[in-house]
Amino acid sequence: MTQEEQANSKTKAEDELEFDDHPEVIDLREKLKGMSKDVMKKTTDSIRIEISQLSSKIDQLKKTRAEYNAQARHYRNMRNNVSDEKFALIEKLREEADAEKDLRDQCNEQIRANKAKREALKEQIRAAWAKVNDLRERYYKMKDEVGVMPEELTEEIRELEWQQQTSSLTPDEDANLTKRITELYEKAYSAHIIGYSSDDLEKAVEIAKSLSEQHDIAHQNVVKNAEQGQVHHERMTKLYDQINESRAGGSNLHEKFVESRQGADIAHQKIVELYEKIKLNQHLLDLIDDEQIRRRHEKSKRIKEERIQQTKEKQSSSKRMTLEELKLLMGDDEEDE
């Protein structure tokens, strides 16, 4: 059974339910109540002409649909006949492109990691050099207040104490050494209060320089990975271009196949819509036929009642009746019973 036959396989009762609330059906039902015989005939002829025109359009659309389906089969076969060699080449290029993409993504990941490290080091570097500056300010303060480095003070104190302990000194010389040692201890105490240490300064400078070097390395890694990532991206782009060029023919055939299929589907949908219109018109014809049958039935019933009345009058006048008239009366008597 074809698609059209399946679409038209509904019963009359189903059609009545389907079109019961249709505006054209409602309108015709209302008009039929007072429609003359001539107008009814003209309406019937008009509907039949429209059905004929719709059938002609369906035939044309069926041809169009068949043409589109034939084109779709043609392009599908051509598309499917693309050589295995081309598929192998495309697959090889795709693998190479994917590899370049992975390398590019790895470079981007390294860029993000080194950027994050570089930003974190900026804060550490600021803090490290701030500590260096603080120690240097303490150094300058100590130079102003003490005049010498703590290490120099310690060394001089040791030398003087050793001299005082090991040398034979006069009372004046010993008093002078004691006074000098006391002065140096006072300076050493002042240096201690200031909190400066040349070792701390050296360590702070080393830490600051180390952090700065790490920052520079992170920045160089960002630049290096950006350059490498760009190289991989350009290679990937070229490979994808080669893939597109290699499968251009097959892609073009597939597009034509899809266009043909869409054309066939559109034609088929129009055919279905026209069949629905024909079914509606056929339903309208059925309504007119039903009205004509109803009117003929009423007319026949009226004529029969008139004949029965005439026959009864003839019987009452004792006139001779025909066999048909007797049958008519008998039928009437049976209906009365």
Which pLDDT does position 333 carry in this prediction? 45
Are 150 and 227 in a shared domain? Answer: yes
How many domains does the chain divide into? 2
Nearest in space to 145 (alpha carbons), one of 198, 82, 195:
195
Are 109 and 65 in a shared domain? Answer: no
Nearest in space to 221 (alpha carbons), one of 120, 109, 99:
109
The answer to whether residue 91 sits within a structural domain is no
Are 183 and 296 in a shared domain? Answer: no
Which pLDDT does position 312 carry in this prediction? 75
Residue 24 near residue 283 (C-beta atoms within 8 A):
no
Which pLDDT does position 54 carry in this prediction? 94
Are 149 and 223 in a shared domain? Answer: yes
Three-state secondary-structure class, residue 318: coil
Low-confidence ranges of the chain (pLDDT < 70): 1-16, 81-85, 136-154, 156-157, 164, 169, 174, 177, 180-181, 183-199, 201, 247-251, 318, 321, 325, 328-329, 331-337
Which pLDDT does position 337 carry in this prediction? 35
Are 118 and 188 in a shared domain? Answer: yes
**CA 237 to the chain's CA centroid:** 24
Are 268 and 204 in a shared domain? Answer: no
Which pLDDT does position 334 carry in this prediction? 44
Q: Which two tokens stand for residue 137?
A: 């300010």
The answer to whether residue 89 sits within a structural domain is no
Nearest in space to 243 (alpha carbons), one of 84, 81, 96:
96
Residue 163 near residue 177 (C-beta atoms within 8 A):
yes
Are 260 and 132 in a shared domain? Answer: no
* Percentage of residues in the chain having pLDDT higher than 90: 30
Are 104 and 232 in a shared domain? Answer: yes
Are 126 and 78 in a shared domain? Answer: no
Contacts of residue 335, Cβ cutoff 8 Å, sequence gap at least 6: none
Which pLDDT does position 284 carry in this prediction? 92
The answer to whether residue 90 sits within a structural domain is no
How many Cβ atoms from other residues are within 10 Å of residue 187's Cβ? 20
Domain boundary pick from 223, 246, 269: 246
Which pLDDT does position 304 carry in this prediction? 81
* Cα–Cα distance measured from residue 102 to residue 114, given in angstroms and rounded to the nearest whole number: 18
| Structural domain harbouring 189 | 97-246
Question: Counting beta carbons within 10 angstroms of the beta carbon of residue 227, is it exposed (0 to 12), middle (13 to 18) or buried (19 or more)?
Answer: exposed
Domain boundary pick from 203, 219, 246: 246
Residue 211 near residue 121 (C-beta atoms within 8 A):
yes
Are 14 and 109 in a shared domain? Answer: no
